[in-house]
Structure 1
Amino acid sequence: MASQLKYKRILLKLSGEALMGEDAYGINTGVLEFVAGEIKQVVEKGVELGVVIGAGNIFRGVAGASKGMDRTTADNMGMLATVMNSLAMQDALERTGVITRVMSAIPMQSVSEPYIRRRATRHLEKGRVVICAAGTGNPYFTTDSAAVLRALEIDADVVIKATKVDGVYDKDPMKFNDALKYESLTYDEVLQKGLRVMDAAGIALAKEDNLPIMVLDMGVSGNISRAAFGECVGTLITA
């Protein structure tokens, strides 16, 4: 089974908002269990999986900064919120029998391991899911940038960005019925068209090393598995 995989090592980027489900904020346990089931399905097929989770469901750094809070303080709070999401995901995964490690860029050894690239790679080789928490550990960087950075560090074959929509559109499909979906894009097209796939720093970083990014709908069961076998179930961004 593993020999048929197109992407043997994947970095999965989950948005914090996606974990809210239909709730106004926080973590929806039903969504958490669904995502854990999807990840288990992928791991059982032989995929080595790293995960980066955002914090929009708890605290968004930029939102805090726009209301007068110091940007560095706001971003630090946002990074701590990603640790909360990561611990919740670890718990959900381990209840399904998937061995998981949370590795934080901000040292907090009571609840997680420190992020060390070689150690993260070793966990992956042993079949453990590695959740990389606290972004890059630095303010002014989004979790999108952190996802691309971690993917490059662990030699991932692809970044899968799991969202609430089934790909990248020319405008918000939630607001416009005539929004057009892209099957594929180049890094330059994403930047030139100003498409809000992920921040420009993350796209530029992926472009530099030609790291493919696939954007897909997290809510469709089996999507991540199909992507691992090379099926384009969303929008693929490459050179």
Structure 2
Amino acid sequence: MLKTRILTALVALPLAIAAIVWLPTGGLVTAVAALMLVGAWEWASMMGGDRGQRALFVALVALVISVFWALAGPAFVNGGGALIIGAACVFWVGVVALLARFPKAWTATLGQPGWAMIAGCVVLAAPVAALGYIHHQDQGAWLILVLCFMIWGADTGAYIAGKTWGQRKLIPAVSPGKTLEGAYGGIAAAMAFGALGAFVLDLSALRILGFTVMGTAIALVSIVGDLTISMFKRSAGLKDSGAFFPGHGGVLDRLDSLIAAAPWFVVGLWLLA
């Protein structure tokens, strides 16, 4: 299993970085959209849907992405892109209440197929719009890499801090392994990578400070994204959302933090502008 995980990472990571750096915005958006459609299949699976229901949900998510693409263009730079990005940000704030009151609050909301379907359309369409918007900006490809390193830093920092100092459980009903100490380590690492990324991009001192602060938000929403997919899996009795990445699980297992963080990174860029 470890060998498979390493081999998958050695293939997937360079491909992802190459796509971010060298693909035009439309190409990157197409690649992200394809991954989100795989994620839609997994989302419907966690909802308990059969093959027909999963296919129908994939088609629905594809329709939502297509409509917003038609409204906003492949870079999602106008109001259509802002609408779906804003809706996702609202969702990621609101879902915290469900995590805090799991499983009771879950049963009445995302535990219902209708609500889960609506949330899935927003959650899976928003990263397509967000990454298209970021990629279209000056130094857009490098901004996406900064976002990725903030997320990876948060994940690694949380793991190291949790293993070393973890005592107090974060939300044990959803994810017994996550601790408050791990969350603090993840926040610190994301802040450091945010500052480093802004420095490497030769941004102003004020923007370096802004990216440092943004690291806190990115780390927090990354944790929320991870916990939300864990909440789905725990309710469905699944270990992984899928098997798209051998040794790592599904698209939602690997990209949950990016799916949650990308819309909020756009908000951070708007505020810094």
| TM-score using structure 2 length | 0.29
Return the structure number with greater strand share.
1
| TM-score using structure 1 length | 0.32
Q: Which protein shows a greater Rg? A: 2
Return the structure number with greater helix share.
2
